[in-house]
Amino acid sequence: MRIFVIVSLVMLVNGLFAWLINLPQNVGQDVPQGKLNSLSFAPFRTGQSPLEEKFPSAEQIDEDLRLLAQKTHIVRTYSSARVMNTIPSLAQKHGLEMIQGAWIGFVKKDIRTEIAELIHAANTYPDVVKRVIVGNEVLLRGEMEPEELIGYIREVKAAIKQPVSYADVWSMYMKNPQLIKEVDFITIHILPYWEDEPIPVSQAPAHIAKIYNIVRKEAESIAPGKPILIGESGWPSAGRQRGWAVPSVSNEAEFIRGLLKVATENKFDYNIVEAFNQPWKDALEGVIGANWGIFTADRKHDVFPLTGKVYENVNWLTQFGYTCALLLAVTLCYRKKLHALSISQHAVFLLFSHLLLLVLVSLACHLWYTSYNNTQYWQSFAAVSLNVALVVLLMQRASHILTKQTNPKTGLWLYGLYLFLVILALNRTFDLATDGRYISFPFSLTALPVLGLLGLMILHYLANKPLPEKTLALDVLLGNQRIVVHHKIIGYGLLAMVVGLLFGEIRSFMVGRDFVAEHPEFIQRFGRAFVFTITNLQLVEWLVSLIILAAAFLLCKQPIRRLH
């Protein structure tokens, strides 16, 4: 009976904490009538991708536009060819207007098709296609020279009556001011998250106003009175933190409401990127690229509401329920083994188990949500399976510590799992250090191993007061007396990766063109990059995890022995 009272208290305390950190957040003024001015519309769903030429059906596009008619007045498209040529008629059906785009890239044959379809749509549906955009970030990608692009802009202008533009990041218009003369309206992308000097969400609206006014000043000196459209602005709901720019559901909601406020105050014309989360972008930009939508990729849920308060994790209660069910199962399994323990030892064991299960469930849900194809689903399944095995073994080891028992097999299996996960973490950290712009921190490799070490250390203290020497040593905590790999090499390797990742992150800021222009002096640039790096909480969490694991390996006092 005592054990079930303790487990109830553990769940109650944890439930209260989970409730407190998941309270709905006030993220700013409601979107008027819950409807945006304009949304970028890419109609691709899970399993579809323009990169693989797997396109949605006209029926799916029809469903999307029916949904979007409730959220926006205008949709911006990026391509006019293939199934995209059905969008104007379907937009007309649902009472939507369009800013229609033609995709311009390396392939000349595709360009001719795109231009022809764009001209046809603009002339056939003038009541729907109100503006057109020839090319999207083609100069940023380095796929075309400005002179060639201008030729396409002139061709379209001569063939239709609607205003014609070209869309790119705002700095490209500053580098190529001749474009300002050619377009009928200037389309700039302002994405505070992706700036060379990332902007925190709280400062993003002011940053947008600042950039808009910079472009306006330049445009007025070249072509006075020319309209400006903020063609893309948005914020990711999941993925890698950059400096002070933190992806989250509440931050995306706060950004959009803040953008609308500054747009209303300054009479800015804007388009938000984007309507739906786009799984195919994971292949280009990782998790961060796939999560800019206001709808989930399956179209079943809003990522966040446009009015009212916002929950960061709407599924927190379900996840907590899974955790409690698993804890009850663990309690039943260990009821007899832990019968002789004191109340404090019982409570610590159950709390430790509950924390392990809470992290396990959270990781599993996150991995599943950020998997976008069969390969990634299988990888997530493998990662969750490894973590399940780790949790089971950590609980066994915890019970052995408290009951002063030994089980060499448990220790050996634990050591093997730790070794495997650490090797994977080393490999992933190398990727982060050398080219980590689009790579999320893989906490599924370290969260449970680190929590396990810290929990076992506390259990050691309760069972063996005073603390034994080198309590954080891996061999002591895991109960493995047969170390077969040179632990010091692994430990120093982890520390080397800590230094390498710090260097790589600082360097990634320092080489940005706009960052260099803003901070021309090396010392100033280094200092700013260093501050962005050490205040990145995701990065710091990852580095601390590596340091704890490194300490555990370096403190091992057992000599190298071979298994026979």
The secondary structure of residue 54, as a DSSP letter, is: B
Mean pLDDT of 86-107: 96
- Distance of alpha carbon 400 from alpha carbon 203, whole angstroms: 52
Mean pLDDT of the chain: 93
- Distance of alpha carbon 210 from alpha carbon 230, whole angstroms: 13
Question: 456-488: per-residue pLDDT in tens?
Answer: 999 888 877 655 556 778 888 888 766 556 788
DSSP string covering 458-516: HHHHHHSSSPPTTTT-HHHHHT-----S-HHHHHHHHHHHHHHHHHHHHHHHHT-HHHH
Whether residue 560 is predicted with pLDDT greater than 50 in this model: the reply is: no
- Distance of alpha carbon 11 from alpha carbon 8, whole angstroms: 5
Count of alpha carbons within 13 angstroms of residue 486, beta-carbon side:
4
The secondary structure of residue 49, as a DSSP letter, is: B
- Distance of alpha carbon 207 from alpha carbon 190, whole angstroms: 9
Question: 112-165: per-residue pLDDT in tens?
Answer: 999 999 999 999 999 999 999 999 999 999 999 999 999 999 999 999 999 999
For the chain, where do the domains classified as CATH 3.20.20.80 start and end? 31-290
At 338 the pLDDT is: 73
At 5 the pLDDT is: 85
The residues near 283 (Cβ < 8 Å, ≥ 6 apart) are: 49, 51
- Distance of alpha carbon 384 from alpha carbon 297, whole angstroms: 23
Mean pLDDT of 322-339: 88
- Distance of alpha carbon 136 from alpha carbon 41, whole angstroms: 14
Count of alpha carbons within 13 angstroms of residue 487, beta-carbon side:
24
Name residue 272's beta-bridge partners.
Answer: 39, 233
Whether residue 413 is predicted with pLDDT greater than 60 in this model: the reply is: yes
Picking from 218, 195, 192, 217, the residue whose alpha carbon sits closest to that of residue 205 is: 192
- Distance of alpha carbon 146 from alpha carbon 476, whole angstroms: 65
At 564 the pLDDT is: 39
Judge residue 403's burial from the number of C-beta atoms within 10 Å of its C-beta, 0-12 exposed, 13-18 middle, 19 or more buried.
middle
Question: 441-454: per-residue pLDDT in tens?
Answer: 999 999 999 999 99
Percent of the chain with pLDDT over 90: 82
Question: 199-255: per-residue pLDDT in tens?
Answer: 999 999 999 999 999 999 999 999 999 999 999 999 999 999 999 999 999 999 999
Percent of the chain with pLDDT over 70: 96
At 316 the pLDDT is: 93
- Distance of alpha carbon 557 from alpha carbon 472, whole angstroms: 11
Better-predicted residue by pLDDT, 64 or 403: 64
Picking from 276, 257, 274, the residue whose alpha carbon sits closest to that of residue 265 is: 257
Picking from 216, 254, 214, 215, the residue whose alpha carbon sits closest to that of residue 234 is: 254
CA dihedral 536, 542, 546, 551 (to 10 degrees): 70
Token pair belonging to 490: 């692994």
- Distance of alpha carbon 332 from alpha carbon 3, whole angstroms: 9
Question: 101-115: per-residue pLDDT in tens?
Answer: 999 988 888 999 999
- Distance of alpha carbon 441 from alpha carbon 363, whole angstroms: 12
At 481 the pLDDT is: 62
The pTM for the full model equals 0.93
| Other C-beta atoms lying within 10 Å of the C-beta of residue 247 | 22
At 339 the pLDDT is: 75
- Fold topology of 31-290: TIM Barrel (3.20.20)
Judge residue 10's burial from the number of C-beta atoms within 10 Å of its C-beta, 0-12 exposed, 13-18 middle, 19 or more buried.
buried
Collapsed DSSP state (helix, strand, coil) of residue 193 = helix
Question: 356-368: per-residue pLDDT in tens?
Answer: 999 999 999 999 9
Beta strand pairing status for 72-76 and 97-102? Answer: parallel
Question: 18-53: per-residue pLDDT in tens?
Answer: 899 899 999 999 999 899 999 999 999 999 999 999
> 45-54, 328-337, 390-399, 523-532: which has the minimum mean pLDDT?
328-337
Picking from 302, 313, 309, 312, the residue whose alpha carbon sits closest to that of residue 36 is: 302
| Other C-beta atoms lying within 10 Å of the C-beta of residue 95 | 10
Beta carbons of 141 and 104 less than 8 angstroms apart: no
Judge residue 426's burial from the number of C-beta atoms within 10 Å of its C-beta, 0-12 exposed, 13-18 middle, 19 or more buried.
middle
